[in-house]
Amino acid sequence: MAGIFEKLSRDTRSRNALSDLRLEFIRFRRFLENMREIRNLIDDAGDKLREEYIYDRHYVLSLVDAILEEASMLAFNSSVLSPAAGKRIYAQLDAHKIYAQKEFLESDGLSKKDLSLLSTCLDADPETQLLAAVLNWLIGPSPADRPALMDFIRYVTDEVFENCRKEELIEKVGGSIRNMPISDSCSMKLIDVDKVSPSKREGSVSHRDIKCRPFGMLLIGLQSGVTSGGTKEKSGINGWMLFDKEAVSLRICRDNETIHLEAALHGNVASDFIFIYSQNPFDLREALPQGSWVEKTGQGTLAWIYDVSIDHLEKQLVQLGYENIVGKRLKPALEKNGDIVETFTDARKALERFGEQHFDIVVSDIRMDDIDGLEVLEQVVARSERTKVIIITGYATVEVAQEALVKGAFDFIAKPFKPDDLRKIIEKAAKELDK
């Protein structure tokens, strides 16, 4: 009987931990929604100032009210996520509220200190001066004795990720964890936060096993990147993933790098996003596309990709999971065999180069920014029927791969794959050229 009661007690603790983890998962989403809304409000105000919109004082004061409301919710959610920092977070929020109330909401005009920061707007109308002063408060430049609101957001982000409770809760979940070996030296702990009761499962996991869309895209990249025999496999990746049907929360530890990623793909631009927080020394600017919002914090870097199509987000998730296999992993291996290899990350530049120099074999990803792989295929085949084109396809793109074969592709390979798999197809293409 004692053994039965002990098992029931463990199951109860596991269910409670899973429930707490689910709440933590949802709270993180709320926290990120607050941060994103603040940034959207700031961007909107900046656009109005730069593009010389006509607006009145009421718009500016409404902007301040909206910012303070979102900042209050940000403080609440971050304090729940990081209780130890609650007092410090609210102390900083109160300082910003007092400043905004005194300088903007209850004032008939700007103070001399605020006016001294508006060298480019001194001759502008009062509404423009007021909006410029509000933006100085939000993003700087600001006096040393008054940090900008973005400094508050950076501080809160550091506190939330420094005191993240997910790690602690995951250890208590027990049987709800599914262990996912990615390679011999790499593993991930998986937890479906939608599961009501624990169900322990082990074994290799494919993106086809995962119903969560952003998780599937990340997994394509992770399994391709860390099983490729490159440097990642030697150093090893360990971490965890929490997910439901439409969102994923990921923490990866590799050597002395720690990266947190939150992503949601609902199919709605207004709610889809990728958010990343890295603790030093990893530099997110090297890994993200141009146009990403990247901010240095006291302890690391935070970054956002949003307001773009779901196809673009899917591509970025795959690229974040694995580093350009053809360029960084396959190129050195092919060059060892005596092949001459050129790599491009820009499809237009690759096609320009193809117009200058004949290539026997072209390997192209199906999804790229300006020109997709099918267009590359069509242009290459039109210029040189002898050239063999190999298409790399992604998640759920079998129909596209078949279309590529109809249009003249020599072969295709679906992610995830190992560089050896692609090398074999290239060798087969080379033999066809020798016939």
Identify which has the larger pLDDT, 103 or 195. 103
> What pLDDT is stored for residue 86 in this prediction?
93
Task: List pLDDT tens digits, range 84-138.
Answer: 899 999 999 999 999 999 888 877 655 545 544 454 555 567 888 888 889 989 9
**Taking a C-beta distance cutoff of 8 angstroms, is the pair 118, 141 a contact?**
no
Q: Are 267 and 251 in contact (CB under 8 A)?
A: no
| Coil, strand or helix at 261 | strand
- Where does 236-375 show beta strands of DSSP type E? 238-243, 247-254, 257-264, 273-279, 293-296, 300-306, 361-365
Q: Is 153 left (phi over 0), alpha (psi -120 to 50) or beta?
A: alpha
pLDDT score at 91: 96
For residue 84, the surrounding DSSP H or E stretch is none
Q: What is the mean pLDDT of the segment spanning 321-325?
A: 46
- Give phi and psi for 204, each to the nearest 5: -65, 145
Whether 106 and 116 have beta carbons less than 8 Å apart is answered as: no
- The amino acid occupying position 48 is K
Position 5 scores a pLDDT of: 36
What would the two tokens of residue 162 be?
């420094």
Please, are residues 21 and 177 in contact by the beta-carbon 8 Å criterion? no
Mean pLDDT of 356-385: 83
The closest of 419, 412, 418, 368 to 388, measured between CA atoms, is: 412
Per-residue tokens: 245: 């049907």
pLDDT at residue 294, rounded to an integer: 86
Contact criterion met (CB below 8 Å) for 202 and 253: no
DSSP state of 119: T
For residues 277 and 414, the model is more confident at 277
CB hemisphere CA count around 285 (13 angstroms): 7
Q: At residue 105, what are phi and psi to the nearest 5 degrees?
A: -75, -30
**pTM for the whole thing?**
0.67
Share of the chain above pLDDT 90, in %: 19
User: In this predicted structure, what is the pLDDT of residue 109?
Assistant: 55
Q: How far apart are the first and last CA of the chain?
A: 76
For the chain, give me the number of helices (H) and strands (E)?
A: 15, 12
pLDDT grade for 435, boundaries at 50, 70 and 90? confident
Q: Which two tokens stand for residue 4?
A: 């039965």
Question: pLDDT averaged over the chain?
Answer: 76
Q: Among 70-79, 88-97, 202-211, 343-352, name the one with the lowest average pLDDT.
A: 202-211
What confidence score (pLDDT) does residue 266 get? 83
Closest residue by Cα to residue 271 from 241, 307, 244: 307
Place of tokens 């926290």: 31
Query: Which pLDDT belongs to residue 225?
Result: 47
Q: Determine phi and psi for 153, rounding to 5 degrees.
A: -65, -40
Can you spell out the DSSP letters for 336-393? HTT------S-HHHHHHHHHHS--SEEEEES--SSS-HHHHHHHHHHH-TTSEEEEEE
What φ, ψ does residue 243 adopt, rounded to 5°? -155, 155
Backbone angles phi, psi at 108, to 5 degrees: -90, -15
Q: 12 is written with which tokens?
A: 């109860």
Share of the chain above pLDDT 70, in %: 68
pLDDT value at position 14? 54
Q: Rounded to whole angstroms, how far apart are CA atoms 343 and 345?
A: 7
Phi and psi at 214, nearest 5°, equal -65, -35
Does residue 63 surpass a pLDDT of 90? yes
Say which residues have a Cβ less than 8 Å from residue 144's Cβ, sequence separation at least 6: none
| 206-251 pLDDT tens trace | 555 667 777 777 766 655 544 333 333 434 457 788 888 888 888 8
d(C-alpha 419, C-alpha 410), whole Å: 18
Residue 18 has pLDDT above 80, yes or no: no
Average pLDDT over residues 151-163: 91
CA separation for the pair 1, 179 (Å, rounded): 30
What pLDDT score does 154 carry? Answer: 93
